[in-house]
Chain A
Amino acid sequence: MDNHLRALRAARGWSQQHLAERLEVSRQSVNAIETGRYDPSLPLAFRIAELFELAIEDVFVSPSRG
């Protein structure tokens, strides 16, 4: 699933490791989500959106609309 995670993270000057620690996941998880190799569960997707204070669709691109 396409997403804007890398751009959002870069805009805040956060490293993958920093974002991973904020989300309490591994750096590999952040990398896999950013590169679209892994689609997070709904709870994790909400945690990511809430961390960036955005709506979930502002972070993740709907496959049907993307």
Chain B
Amino acid sequence: MSMPPEIKRYTVRLLSVMTLYGVTLVGVNLWFRYAPPTGALAYIAAVLPAVPIALVFVVIGKLLVEMRDEYIRAQMVHDLLIVTGATLSITTAWGFLEGFGLVGPTAHYYVATLWFALQGVAACVRGILRSRERSVG
């Protein structure tokens, strides 16, 4: 079965923003290493790598809007809610561990990393369920 056009668009958009992320991250790191910006410019430069990450959520949102298959969309919303809930629960628990001095401080951008990792787990689980469903017929 061919890939639906909205999935093709999603893939292209995702690859584009991830490329932008890589370029921005490397660029900003080099900037701070060799010619550190100062003042307001430093703040703007420091948050630049967060922009493509925010765009990933926009890309996912656009996919939800454009997806024509309502069942697959419902599954995706279901997975997004579980992953978001799990991410918030884990990071809240981690926050308490930090608060009681049981673990060291962690950079907050790992929240997005955890969310993406859990999305990967959800996609694997969904893939296994679909292949089981296929074998049952």
Contacts and interface: CB of A to CB of B under 8 A. Distances in A.
Interface of A: 17, 24-29, 31-33, 38, 40-41, 44
Interface residues of B, number: 9
B68 interface: yes
8 contacts: A24-B68, A25-B71, A27-B1, A28-B71, A28-B72, A29-B71, A38-B71, A38-B74
Among B69, B71, B130, chain A packs the most CB atoms within 10 A around the CB of B71
B130 A28 contact: yes
A31 B72 contact: no
Contacts of B68: 24-25
A36 B74 CA distance: 15
- Which secondary structure dominates chain A's binding surface? helix
Contacts of B1: 17, 27
Interface string B65-81: 00011111010000000
B20 to A, nearest CB: 31
Contact of B70 (A17, A31, A41): A41
Contacts of A33: 71
A28 B72 CA distance: 8
Contacts of B71: 25-26, 28-29, 32-33, 38, 40
